[in-house]
Chains A and B, each alone.
Chain A
Amino acid sequence: MCGTCGCSGGSEGGGGTRIAVPHTHPHGGETITLEQRVLAKNEDLAAGNRAWLAEQGIVAVNLMSSPGAGKTTLLERTIRDFVGHRPVSVIEGDQETTLDADRIKRAGSTVVQVNTGAGCHLDAEMMRDALTTLTPPAGSLVLVENVGNLVCPALFDLGERSRVVIISVTEGTDKPLKYPYMFAAADLVIVNKIDLLPYVDFDVARCEEYARSVNPGLTVLALSATTGEGMRSWYDWVAERY
């Protein structure tokens, strides 16, 4: 059978092997060349978002992590500490619940919830729609809490300024080697929950080394969103984006 079209012409080797040799296709049909990037549509939409955000002087930061890394706690503390300095709004990606969005709202930020349902990541179209609903003021900070997943969100450009991966010390030191795509796509890694370091087996320096092995230009910050230790370096990092 022909390995290209599945017709019975051009067989070689027999016995179910599928080696294509040049042959004609008596059954007709047409080969259409597409040569198109699978994510072209998403990338176009992301470029649109990026241009709009730049025009408005809005900095959007995409926060990604596994579930339980402490993203929402980090957001709450960031919002509370930013109140009075710079307006912050949040795009909250969640598969089902509005629990995190409620916490963000209580912390004092405008929030738009995007329910992805079965989807395991946000895409540029969801980002555009969320920005339309949110209408963040010019010059503000938009924090995007992506769906808790370290695989798929790495593939989808939202049009954000920067990508941050958050891991906590209760996860494995080798996380960057298990999810290299995510770390390769990140601008910053936050190692959260350092207040727990005395109780867990986590090596911050080694984790940093692993992360740099897939992304040599990476910045790594260690902090605790619970105690506030190290949060200053995160705020400085955000301030540098403006």
Chain B
Amino acid sequence: MSITQSIVDAVCERAAGRPVRTVSVRVGMLTAVVPDSMRFCFDLTTAGTVAEGAALEIEQPPGTAHCMACSEDFTLADLVLLCPCGSADVRITSGQELQIISMRVG
């Protein structure tokens, strides 16, 4: 809830009174944020603000990682850090994003 509240606060601040039509956010697959509950919270927290009724677009980059042992890049379905080669020495390269990309006003 407070994640969504931070988004709405930032958006309303930048909108400077203009009505907000669309908000685009990037929520990586490896974050603890669930898009459905974010939508639900978004509708609740925008009520009565300039962003009331705005559409929320959620882009979800997949989880990817780079293996230090075999140098392969691979997809991570969850946070279990294990390369197909068997090594656990991996570095997450995407999927942990939590950003506001843009918004459309007016």
Contact = CB atoms under 8 A, between A and B. Distances in A.
Interface stretch (A72-80, A85-93, A107-115, A211-219): A211-219
Interface of B is mostly: mixed
B88 A4 contact: no
Among B32, B78, B82, max chain A CB count under 10 A is at B32
B25 interface: yes
A149 to B, nearest CB: 11
Interface string B81-105: 1100000110000000011111111
Contact of B88 (A6, A42, A212): A212
A180 B80 contact: yes
B79 interface: yes
A89 B6 CA distance: 30
B2 interface: yes
A107 B25 CA distance: 46
Contacts of B11: 34
Contact of A32 (B1, B14, B88): B14
A36 B80 contact: no
Interface string A1-39: 001111000000000000000000000111111111111
B12 interface: no
A39 B80 contact: no
Contacts of A51: none
A121 B21 CA distance: 30
Nearest to A42: B6
A28 B21 CA distance: 12
B89 to A, nearest CB: 7
A215 B82 CA distance: 10
B81 A214 contact: yes
B47 interface: no
Nearest to B92: A184
A3 B6 CA distance: 24
B103 to A, nearest CB: 5
B70 interface: no
A180 B99 CA distance: 21
A151 interface: yes
Contacts of A28: 106
Given A30-B106, A34-B14, A155 B3 contact: yes
Contacts of B81: 213-216
A123 interface: yes
Nearest to B7: A38
Query: Closest 9 CB pairs between A and B?
Result: A180-B79, A29-B106, A181-B32, A34-B100, A214-B79, A38-B98, A33-B102, A213-B80, A216-B88
Interface of B: 1-3, 6-7, 10-11, 14, 21-22, 25, 31-33, 55, 57, 78-82, 88-89, 98-106
Given A5-B21, A34-B102, A180-B79, 4 more contacts: A4-B57, A31-B102, A151-B32, A180-B80
